[in-house]
Amino acid sequence: MCLKSSPPEVTKDNASSKTLILGGVFAFCTAGLLIPTVILSINANRPPVISIFANQDENQCAGSQIMVNNVDCVHTPGPQAGANVTKGYKGGMEVDYVPNTKPYFQSSMCPVNVHWHLGTEHYSAGEYDEFGTGPNSVNNNLPQNQQVRPGYRCRHFDKSQPMFTNEYRWEFCVGMQVGETYEVHWPHSAAGACGTPDQYQTPFYDGVFCNLDEEKFSTLSAQDVADAVGVQAQVFTVVNDERYFYPDLMRGFIKDGEYGKDIAMYTGSTTGTTRSNEVCSSYAPITWQVDRKCHLISASSFDRLCETMRLQRDNMTLDMHAHVSHTFCSAPFDVIANDIS
């Protein structure tokens, strides 16, 4: 607030004082601006600090993957993924084991990786299915040699709403697109390097098998594996709207309100680019816990995730873009377990 008053009489002495005061204030302000400039200059010339925790030579999980070959689906070694997770659907494959229906942490499991697929590998009628829509073309943010096969889409996209069409300035994720559908996977394992700098691994198999060698693995029953290895899956349409910001997509799917409320659980397999309706995965059975609903998530949430992935000891660069979507399991012979709940 300014108070009105008559200006004081200016004399030679107080004029000199005012000049000194103004000069001092100017010098102080100038120094105030100069100090951060000098600091920034010093920091810019300082060599980068290499953290002792970033040394990949110390990665205890590197190369831990136990290799097993794919097989033709006629001789499938177990139920496959991704399944139709529509409520009420049951697969046709008889199995004598059940999925792990507890929260994974209650079975000493931790997330060992996070990655996502363009479109969905699972199918949920009315949520993500053949009637879902998105931007006019898929893959248009990826170079030609990195184009991937898309899966199903959600039904949220509305080109009349700016949050589905306004571009986002991506800093860390690669090839992502506002308005597009992505299915995020969080592989979990009780044999992971839980609670250590080596917990998160690319490829995720290194994290799954980190503390499990082939000899020990060979002694496990199918139910042992289904109880100790699982994947969480959640489907999102990306929007440019901070109302849908979630700060931590690194540790597992979101359980809040409608997010994570309706979960399908079944035993299946790993997916990936080398599997199809003719070629099946031998990494089975594992538990899948899949959110049946499609949700909105801000682009900034994904970019925060990719930034966090960059900070892990293992190099997760190959998981910072969308992967191919495995063909939905619809082979002439049923390879989906009858234990979907």
Please write the tens of the pLDDT for every residue from 158-180: 999 999 999 999 999 999 999 99
Sorted by sequence, the CB contacts under 8 Å of residue 337 that are 6+ apart come out as: 79, 83, 91, 93, 95, 266, 267, 268, 285
Q: Is the peptide bond before 285 cis (omega within 30 degrees of 0)?
A: yes
Q: E-strand spans in 138-252?
A: 153-154, 181-189, 229-239
Decide if 231 contacts 286 (C-beta within 8 A). Answer: yes
DSSP class of residue 297 equals: E
Q: How far apart are CA 335 and CA 341, in angstroms?
A: 16
Q: Indicate the SS3 state at residue 208.
A: helix
Closest CA to 172 of 306, 297, 299, 298: 306
Sorted by sequence, the CB contacts under 8 Å of residue 94 that are 6+ apart come out as: 338
DSSP class of residue 197 equals: T
Give the pLDDT band (50/70/90) at residue 141. low
Each residue's pLDDT tens digit, 60-98:
999 999 999 999 888 877 999 999 999 999 998 999 999
Q: Is the confidence at residue 251, as pLDDT, over 50? A: yes
Q: How far apart are CA 204 and CA 115, in angstroms?
A: 9
Decide if 276 contacts 225 (C-beta within 8 A). Answer: no
Helix (H) or strand (E) holding 101, with range, is none
Mean pLDDT of the region 29-42: 39
**Residue type at 110 in one-letter notation:** C
Each residue's pLDDT tens digit, 278-322:
889 999 999 999 999 999 999 999 999 999 999 999 999 999 999
Each residue's pLDDT tens digit, 180-227:
999 999 999 999 999 999 999 999 999 999 999 999 999 999 999 999
DSSP of 233-250: EEEEEEES-GGG--S--S
Q: Indicate the SS3 state at residue 106.
A: helix
Q: How far apart are CA 135 and CA 237, in angstroms?
A: 11
Closest CA to 100 of 328, 338, 341: 341
Give the pLDDT band (50/70/90) at residue 235. very high
The CA angle 206-210-216, to the nearest 5 degrees, is 120
* 181-189 and 115-118 beta bridge pairing: antiparallel
To which residue do tokens 């999980």 refer?
61
Q: How far apart are CA 115 and CA 233, in angstroms?
A: 10
Tell me, what's the pLDDT at 301?
98
Query: Mean pLDDT in the chain?
Result: 84
**Residue type at 70 in one-letter notation:** N
To which residue do tokens 């992935």 refer?
309
Mean pLDDT of the region 234-243: 98
Tell me, what's the pLDDT at 136?
73
Taking the CA atoms of residue 145, residue 151, residue 154 and residue 158 in that order, the dihedral angle to the nearest 10 degrees is 40
Tell me, what's the pLDDT at 113?
98
Q: E-strand spans in the chain?
A: 71-72, 110-111, 115-118, 128-129, 153-154, 181-189, 229-239, 263-268, 279-280, 286-298
Q: Indicate the SS3 state at residue 121.
A: coil
Q: How far is CA 240 from CA 22, 170, 177, in A?
A: 48, 11, 10
Helix (H) or strand (E) holding 340, with range, is none
